[in-house]
Amino acid sequence: MILKFIKDTTGIYDVLYKKDQEKTYYPWPHEWQGMTEKKRVKQGIFVECHGHGEFDVFRKGIDVDVI
């Protein structure tokens, strides 16, 4: 799945994702805040885990669109 940023967005570790930048999203098959990967994606929530409880969370229509 490809995510396209709809605005400049700063991720964890101050990584800057620029508007119109595309990023490949890889499913993270673990529960996060009580939601499975399938439920999160259905709600437009995309989570990338960086370990040690650190996550980037991108939301469809707010941070990204799915292309």
Max Cα separation, the chain?
Answer: 31
- Is the pLDDT at 42 greater than 90? The verdict is yes
pTM of the complete model: 0.91
Q: Which amino acid is at 55?
A: F
Spatial separation of the C-alpha atoms in residues 10 and 12, rounded to whole Å: 7
| pLDDT tier for residue 51 given thresholds of 50, 70 and 90 | confident
Instruction: Domain ranges for the chain, please list them.
Output: 2-66
DSSP state of 50: -
Mean pLDDT for the chain overall: 96
pLDDT tens digits for range 2-25: 999 999 999 999 999 999 999 999
